[in-house]
Amino acid sequence: MKQRTIAAAIFFIIVAIFFIMAAWSMRPFGTPEQSAMDDYIIQNTQEETGANNGVTSVVFDYRGFDTLGEATILFTAVAAVVMILRREDHE
């Protein structure tokens, strides 16, 4: 039991060192490099979709297929929860 705790502590410290080294060498906060697709979306979202909200037009119009997949995930999760927790005296 003590050996397992020491091995878990060494693993935790190694993962923490990796994360901190990665955060030191990222590019400075607030400078995205390739933003050509987002500049096109910000320029043309009012005459192509007619909505004032840029995020909603991306979610439902420019990338509506991802929203279809997300609706499927919600439906599958609800069906699985109802199936696991079924009572025996249901009608």
Give residues in contact with other proteins (CB under 8 A): 5, 8, 11-12, 15-16, 19-20, 23-24, 26, 28-32, 35, 37-38, 41-42, 46-61, 63-71, 73-78, 80-82, 84-85, 87
Query: In the bound complex, what is the minimum distance in angstroms from residue 35's beta carbon to other proteins?
Result: 6
Query: In the bound complex, what is the minimum distance in angstroms from residue 48's beta carbon to other proteins?
Result: 7
- Tell me how crowded residue 59 is: count the other CB atoms within 10 A of its CB: 14
Query: In the bound complex, what is the minimum distance in angstroms from residue 87's beta carbon to other proteins?
Result: 6
3/73 with CB nearer other proteins: 73
Contacts of 41 (CB under 8 A, 6+ apart): 54, 57, 58, 62
Measuring CA to CA, which residue among 68, 44, 64 is closest to residue 56? 64
Report how far residue 24's alpha carbon sits from residue 57's, in angstroms, rounded to the nearest whole number: 35
